[in-house]
Amino acid sequence: MKKIGEVLHVSPGPENRVIAKVDVPPKLGATVFDAKKKPIGVVLDIFGPVKSPYIEVKVEEREPQKIVNSPLYILPKPKSVRGKR
């Protein structure tokens, strides 16, 4: 797993969304995980300056306050193995 950033706060509104500061932004629609490889949610938006981006994540958990200040991870892409011919 690769650490991408940390959850800053819960977004205001009825939806379960959190804002996270990331070092390297994942792709839109990517699933983010906690340290125990449990899926937290899906990336909805990437915004802010290019050097220090933020992401908005739609959280699957009922109480998103629990994950504030916790690190976020993504799973690395599997490497494709090509054989010699």
Q: Which CATH number fits domain 2-74: 2.60.40.10, 1.10.1380.10, 3.30.300.30, 2.40.10.230?
A: 2.40.10.230
**Model pTM score:** 0.83
Residue in this structure with the two tokens 């959190």, named with its chain if needed: 18
For 18-34, write each residue's pLDDT tens digit.
999 999 899 999 999 99
Residue that has been written with the tokens 């981006």 in this structure: 53
Listed by start position, the domains of the chain span 2-74
**Cα–Cα distance, 20 to 42 (Å, whole number):** 12
CA separation for the pair 37, 24 (Å, rounded): 19
What pLDDT score was predicted for residue 23? 93
From residue 23, give the alpha-carbon distance in Å to each of 10, 15, 32, 58, 83.
Answer: 19, 25, 14, 19, 34
- Asked if 44 and 60 touch (Cβ cutoff 8 Å), the reply is no
